[in-house]
Amino acid sequence: MTTTSRVALVTGGSGGIGRVTVERLVADGFAVAVHYAGNRAKADDTVAQIVAAGGEAVAVGGDVADEIAMTELFDTVEAEFGGIDVVVNTAGRMILGPVAEFDLDQFDAMMRTNVRGTFVVSQLAAKRVRAGGAIVNFSSTVVKLAMPTYAPYAATKGAVDAMTLILARELRGRDITVNVVAPGPTATPLFLDGKDDATVERLSKAAPLERLGEPADIAEAVAFLAGPARWVNGQVIYVNGGIA
């Protein structure tokens, strides 16, 4: 069992914002459980790099919407590191399309990962995270931008906002903060997939800082909530360069 003082679990930690968040938390001295859904090789690669650099990490897999799989995952992390202090939910899916034409099977699949998955992991985190810890869920700035074709995705993230802010109040007296990070346009495969160059260029100029966010920008906000931000609780933190 490790003697590391703080332990983090990052869902979707094998790629995109998740992987950079893992690396940022390791830099802050966390031992990290790197969750993956389908690509174990990427998670193993992340863990190998962390361990080679002297950090502590383990790869853990499973469907975030499967409560049995996630219970086993939490058990594994606790057995490996002795407890859990921070849970970060970056796992998610984004499928775009107009409401009138949107495929309901795709809508259900996105709801399963983004809403049920966040709920399942948050439920377990509420029971398992140690005093002084933090739960950080992921939403999106698109919830308040009202952009065409984003309605199904924004609906799932609006649900994340609601459940997270209520959970913060339900954990009264536990010394556990619960917040949401809501990125704006960020240069990740999830965001860039299916967008032509003109669309990416237009979105990159939307914020006053006139660039897309980088995963490191988002990870910095997560690290703040996971560490020193003990008086930030029950909030949606928009990390979007001022786009809204």
Q: Residues with catalytic annotation? A: 153
8 A C-beta contact, residue 195 and residue 212: no
**Residue 208 to residue 57: CA distance in whole angstroms:** 37
**Residue 163 to residue 35: CA distance in whole angstroms:** 22
How crowded is residue 55: how many other Cβ atoms within 10 Å of its Cβ? 19
Contacts for 125-130: CB closer than 8 Å, 24+ residues apart: 125/9, 125/84, 125/87, 126/167, 126/170, 126/171, 126/176, 128/74, 128/78, 128/84, 129/84, 129/85, 129/86, 129/87, 129/176, 130/83, 130/84, 130/85
**Residue 211 to residue 115: CA distance in whole angstroms:** 29
**Residue 19 to residue 15: CA distance in whole angstroms:** 5
How crowded is residue 148: how many other Cβ atoms within 10 Å of its Cβ? 9
